[in-house]
Structure 1
Amino acid sequence: MSEFKRIAPQQAQALREQGAVVVDVRDPQSFALNHIAGSQHLDNHSLHDFIAKADLDKPLIVTCYHGNSSQSAAAYLVGQGFAEVYSLDGGFELWRATYPEETAQAPSQE
């Protein structure tokens, strides 16, 4: 795969069940409030470590709020050597509407 593909939540869920990695590029506060269960938050601070430790051959799903910012991030990750990258159409908002039971909140910091 030389470029990323856009996929619907149903396709993303099937890939998750097969072991795909999900990364969320929204701001840290939004991620902490609610995110796709099992996803990792990715920002400019964690990006380098993520790429260094990642299995470049494992499917990677990138999500944001509505599916726009994730496309830029997905294109960047393809350029970093990831073989199979997907951008989640509709982003987290559509995911949450489709799979409300597959969302999670970050543990409280209190």
Structure 2
Amino acid sequence: MTLPDPTYTNELDPLQCQQLLASEVPPLLIDCRELNEFAFCRIDGSALVPLSNFTEKAEAEFPEKDTPAIIYCHHGVRSLNAVFYLRAQGFTHTYSMRGGIDLWSLEIDPSIPRY
């Protein structure tokens, strides 16, 4: 699966994310929830960059401005804010997972606990 044109979308649904994460060169997977949420449940392979200190730590996670990344949170609101911030900083291929880890648990991996 190729990356969607970021000019037209800020969000990807969980199935699109799963397909991209299974690709030969997967995008970065960033969890922007807080540590206690991350400790409770997370998607394997994700890095924690809490939204509460996102502006200080996010850029360190990205080797290049065009590095593809999927950002997720609980329901998709915080991750969308993170994507808007990153895009304003020139990061072109960043996407929020619509519905967050909650929808991921419902549609992709029911072993991930919901809260």
Q: TM-score, normalised by structure 2?
A: 0.76
Higher relative contact order (CA 8 A, sep 6+): 1
More strand by share: 1
Q: What is the 5 A alignment of 1:18-57?
A: 18=23, 19-43=26-50, 44-45=52-53, 47-55=55-63, 56-57=65-66
CA RMSD of aligned residues (A): 2.4
Question: Using the alignment, how far apart are the partners of 2:53 and 2:11 within structure 1?
Answer: 25
CA contact (8 A) 1:15 1:59 kept: no
| Structure-2 separation of matches of 1:48 and 1:30 | 20
Q: CA deviation at 1:50?
A: 3.9
| 2:108 partner letter | Y
Structure 1, unaligned runs of 5 or more: 104-110
Q: Normalized against structure 1, the TM-score is what?
A: 0.79
Query: Partner letter of residue 17 of structure 1?
Result: A
Detail structure 1 runs of 4+ shifted over 2 Å in the superposition: 1-4, 43-50
Post-superposition offset of 1:48:
3.2
Percent identical among aligned pairs is: 30
3-state SS in 1 of match to 2:33: coil
Report how many aligned residue pairs link the two structures. 104
